[in-house]
Structure 1
């Protein structure tokens, strides 16, 4: 990986993505936990409110039943009013938010009033709590729709009523107790539902008795036909996400039918409130995670850039170590390594391997006459001619030492090597660089060629010596020529031991 900078960036991006994925999973779990905690709280609130309402209504109903039972006892109706009041009405009838307990006759006239010895003159025959018992003997306990009372100014009220029957079962009137809806309002106000939460109590038919947040216009409104009410009516209890028909706020609803009473209670938490704290934490965690990921990727990019620079410098240093600085060809050391490799390959494959030894003619005299700077230019020009003559990727040209060059030609027979050698010689001569000390009056080269296809050599050294011997043959033949072939001497001795011909 340390040799592949882009891999570092790729790994850092993978790590960053993995961290984001983990953070996303954690935040998702936190979101689920926030919903679960809110749901548990809402269910607990609904249970608490249900029990309070159920208990108080049950106590009030017991008071109604006690009045009905007392009136069925012989002689109770004929008792003096003050004694009758004590017999029929217990202390529950005077609790806070409870109105009067009334007894009516079959026509709806009030004949007994829990708050007055002499009943107030009022007829309730038009009230739903009277009509339901008149028309339905099996109605049992009835909870009325909200109404404004006639006997007091206690605000919107509901009534709980039971039927009174004669011994023959005919309708004798009702016993009814009133309850101010303010009781439910105070009860709801004590519950923590968040800024946008709601709580509602309604009749089975969808008539609203109380809602938080409170709005007097909502009391008595029917929700029958709305999507939420249809869900309330389908099961005795449950929960769901829905949008309120009253204010259009999306909430999570927990609802239940209050056992023994025709009432539905729902507690609803706004989704905005449920996830408000989670959103704040998610924003903090998400921002930190994104910043950390960006930092990781940025550091990886910087490290990769530095590593690229380092690798480039190392590559350049390796290139410099294997390249001649003047001619930009391979140096002697690099040539030795490649020659060894090509020689071993030739031994394995039995493919021809050719070698050119090239020497600039009369170079010492050129340097003495034109100077070392001109000599360097001449060597660079010769190197350019050599590079132009070899095109294949496996062909290698090197500066062998001083004014001497070498070319390694894998998989090249002798005739091909001779053609390349002649191309190089002709190209150098075509440069027409003046050289008055040369018999040709221009810079020229002599080339010696050796090829394993023309003659077998025992060792790489013998092969190189053969090319060097061919070079000396070209020099001895008048320079500016190519020499080489099966008849070229190839002594297995170091090149330095070969006879020296003056440059």
Structure 2
């Protein structure tokens, strides 16, 4: 129990250690990944903030350049009127054609009075444009229109415009400059933008001036429901996380509201793009953690299995030790353990009692205990190794000078140190030997008695044969001899005496034949048992004294010849007894086989007899002796006036041949 409890505690400690270590690994990985994720997001947000600053500065520079161009055209218009040479301004690079797609002067009625496009000026009416209406109602200020389709070039443009005043200060028209939305984002056209990276300029009304998502450019989208404007209202410069207002992709945004211009610069990176590398690193960490945890769990399982198996082995050893100790201490046989040097290692109580030994025997030589054995038997390795038989019988002399017959069995075993040791078992068989001697004496006495009974039976049978020959056959032959002498001497009587002599001789032959059948063995070598019994019944029934009924339906397996002869002789003996003593009218013979037994039942309705008085009869003894030869048994049931029933059971013979005919 102590080892089992200790092993259970060790298994519990190892299991707890494994669980805590796996939890520690998981917590460490989770903490590390959480920090990595936070750093990755922080780095992405900082990148977006830097890009937002760049976008802000680039947008301000573009707007300021456009405003400078407008102011230049306004000054030229004040000085030269409709004689402004736009071709010279564009060709000399004063107006950068890569940034601006056209410049025009619109009068107070909304008609173009002058432009660089070379088309009829008064063909277009811009009085309905928002920027025209704005300047008509406001004093001079810079205006940025939402993206719209230009009526002059047919492209989506952003109109940057200022008001023109007449000398009296009234509204005199506008100077409009067309800028394509991509002008504000082309700075990032060669940048390595991810598929969901967003760069956009947005008006306070929620309309995008220019937007670039990955490599796709767009403008004019309405994102007025974006949470951007809530954040802008709180802080002009900040970061936030929300779904993209157009595609619904979770995105980290950085924004800046431009000072003095109605523009918000935003830069966004999708959470998926930001954390793509993080997820790969996280997967590697999880795989590493899983492998490490699996190895740790496997190692713990191996350790726990070792402790459990060790506990089971120790329990088995303890059980075996307890079992063998119980056998060693409680057996009635003497058990002696002998060391490799011939000294006694241990003896059980039975050995002490058997050899009448008192005191400590650890230092006593094994051979000194049995110097008086017959034959001499010394418990030494040399003697045991030289002895061929592992079992022998020896007469030992105890310390109190008494003798006993011991059955000695021994074997060799190796100790934990690898030394050969011997275990010797001595069983006191003195009483068994006495019983065997008595049994042998009893068997001899019984054999002599049986032989005497057989001899008496033979003598009686010979006497019966002698009487039969003397009283019957001899008398008939004497009469025949007398008739023949008379016929020889008197010719007149021959005709009368010779037929009588022949008749008597036939009777004599019949008597001799009957006597021969009774004495000789039936032809069981060539005929079946059933056929032989039928022949016996036919011969007995010829006497006409009783009727015999023979039942043999369940007899199927042929017996050995000796067994069939025994059954035949038993039937013959009992039928003769019925003829002589029973005065019966019916006899039933049943021959059957069941449960490995051949059974014969002989039942008559005669006058019966006293079983106790008839028990010592020679006939019954002969029948019982024949039965016991084959390990069978015989039962007799009878009483005066009740007939007789004899039941004989004999084990099946080894011969399993099935009778071909019955």
Place the TM-score, normalised by the shorter chain, in its bin: 0.5 to 0.7
SS across alignment from 1:158: strand
Q: Give the drift of 1:234.
A: 4.2
**Counterpart position of 2:178:** 178
Q: Give the drift of 1:117.
A: 10
Cα gap change, 1:118 to 1:317, in 2 (>3 Å)? closer
- Alpha-carbon distance in structure 2 between the residues aligned to 1:322 and 1:57: 102
Normalising by structure 2, what TM-score? 0.46
**Counterpart position of 1:45:** 51
**Counterpart position of 1:161:** 161
| 1:29 maps to which of 30, 35, 53 | 35
Q: Give the drift of 1:180.
A: 1.4
Cα gap change, 1:10 to 1:41, in 2 (>3 Å)? same
Q: Give the drift of 1:219.
A: 3.0
**Counterpart position of 2:66:** 60
| 1:11 maps to which of 17, 23, 47 | 17
Cα deviation, 1:125-150, whole Å, max 9, x if unaligned, reads 11111110101226x11101212112
- Alpha-carbon distance in structure 1 between the residues aligned to 2:59 and 2:145: 15
Q: Give the drift of 1:302.
A: 0.6
**Counterpart position of 1:284:** 284
**Counterpart position of 2:142:** 141
Cα gap change, 1:308 to 1:206, in 2 (>3 Å)? same
Q: Is the 8 A contact 2:40 2:278 kept in 1?
A: yes
User: How do 1:38-437 and structure 2 match up within 5 A?
Assistant: 38-72=44-78, 76-77=79-80, 80-82=83-85, 91-116=93-118, 119=121, 121-137=123-139, 140-153=141-154, 155-213=155-213, 219-311=219-311, 313=313, 325-327=325-327, 363-364=353-354, 368=404
Cα deviation, 1:202-232, whole Å, max 9, x if unaligned, reads 2121112222238999632322234344434
Q: Is the 8 A contact 1:93 1:114 kept in 2?
A: no
**Counterpart position of 1:460:** none
With 180-189 and 99-108 compared, the bigger mean Cα shift is at: 180-189
Q: Which runs of 5 or more structure 2 residues have no equivalent in the other structure?
A: 1-5, 331-348, 357-402, 410-425, 435-662
Q: Is the 8 A contact 2:56 2:258 kept in 1?
A: yes
Cα deviation, 1:348-374, whole Å, max 9, x if unaligned, reads xxxxxxxxxxx889953999579689x
Q: Is the 8 A contact 2:195 2:215 kept in 1?
A: no
Cα deviation, 1:359-392, whole Å, max 9, x if unaligned, reads 889953999579689xxxxxxxxxxxxxxxxxxx
- Alpha-carbon distance in structure 2 between the residues aligned to 1:71 and 1:159: 19
Q: Give the drift of 1:255.
A: 1.3
Cα deviation, 1:162-207, whole Å, max 9, x if unaligned, reads 1122344322211111111232353343333312222222212111
Q: Give the drift of 1:316.
A: 6.2
Cα gap change, 1:85 to 1:78, in 2 (>3 Å)? farther
Q: Is the 8 A contact 1:240 1:252 kept in 2?
A: yes
Q: Give the drift of 1:94.
A: 3.7
Q: Give the drift of 1:436.
A: 13
Cα deviation, 1:283-303, whole Å, max 9, x if unaligned, reads 111111111111112111211
Q: Alignment length, in residue pairs?
A: 346
Q: Give the drift of 1:247.
A: 1.3
Cα gap change, 1:92 to 1:264, in 2 (>3 Å)? farther
**Counterpart position of 1:497:** none
Cα deviation, 1:99-119, whole Å, max 9, x if unaligned, reads 222222222222232455984
Cα gap change, 1:88 to 1:25, in 2 (>3 Å)? closer
Q: Is the 8 A contact 2:195 2:213 kept in 1?
A: no
**Counterpart position of 1:481:** none
Q: Give the drift of 1:33.
A: 1.6
**Counterpart position of 2:477:** none
SS across alignment from 1:157: strand
Cα gap change, 1:87 to 1:151, in 2 (>3 Å)? closer
Cα gap change, 1:362 to 1:248, in 2 (>3 Å)? closer
Q: Which has the larger radius of gyration?
A: 2
Query: What's the RMSD between the two structures over aligned residues?
Result: 4.0
Cα gap change, 1:361 to 1:240, in 2 (>3 Å)? closer
- Alpha-carbon distance in structure 2 between the residues aligned to 1:89 and 1:131: 32
Cα gap change, 1:221 to 1:24, in 2 (>3 Å)? closer
Cα gap change, 1:5 to 1:85, in 2 (>3 Å)? closer
- Alpha-carbon distance in structure 2 between the residues aligned to 1:24 and 1:191: 34
- Alpha-carbon distance in structure 1 between the residues aligned to 2:129 and 2:55: 28
Q: Is the 8 A contact 1:66 1:88 kept in 2?
A: no
Cα deviation, 1:416-438, whole Å, max 9, x if unaligned, reads xxxxxxxxxxxxxxxxxx9999x
Which protein, 1 or 2, shows the higher relative CO under an 8 Å CA cutoff with sep ≥ 6? 1
